[in-house]
Structure 1
Amino acid sequence: MSARDIFHNLVRLALQKDGWTITHDPLSIDLADGQLQIDLGAERLIAAQKQDERIAVEIKSFVAPSAIYEFHTALGQCLNYRVALKLKEPERILYLAVPLETYEDFFSRQLPQLSIHEYQLKLLVFDPENEVIVQWIN
Structure 2
Amino acid sequence: MPALDIYHNAARQALIKDGWKITHDPLHLRWGRKDMYVDLGAKRLIIAERSEQKIAVEVKSFLGVSEMQAFRDAVGQFAIYRAVLRRTYPDFILYLAIRDVVYSSFFEEPIGQILIEDENLKLIVFDAEKEEILQWKS
Q: TM-score, normalised by structure 1?
A: 0.97
Q: How many residues align?
A: 138
Q: Aligned with 2:75: secondary structure?
A: helix
Task: Tell me the equivalent position of 2:131.
Answer: 131
Q: Distance in 1 between matches of 2:71 and 2:30?
A: 25
Task: Tell me the equivalent position of 1:15.
Answer: 15
Q: Distance in 2 between matches of 1:18 and 1:108?
A: 23
Task: Tell me the equivalent position of 2:55.
Answer: 55
Structure 1 unaligned blocks of 5 or more: none
Task: Tell me the equivalent position of 1:104.
Answer: 104
- RMSD across aligned C-alpha pairs, in angstroms? 0.8
Q: Aligned with 2:41: secondary structure?
A: strand
Structure 2 unaligned blocks of 5 or more: none
Q: Aligned with 2:2: secondary structure?
A: coil
Q: Is contact 2:60-2:98 (8 Å) kept?
A: yes
Task: Tell me the equivalent position of 1:4.
Answer: 4
Q: Aligned with 1:125: secondary structure?
A: strand
Q: TM-score, normalised by structure 2?
A: 0.97
Q: Is contact 2:10-2:129 (8 Å) kept?
A: no
Equivalences for residues 21-100 of structure 1 within 5 A: 21-100=21-100
Q: Quote the offset at 1:103 in angstroms.
A: 0.4
Divergent runs of 4+, >6 A: none
Q: Aligned with 2:107: secondary structure?
A: coil
Q: Distance in 2 between matches of 1:73 and 1:108?
A: 18
Q: Distance in 2 between matches of 1:109 and 1:10?
A: 25
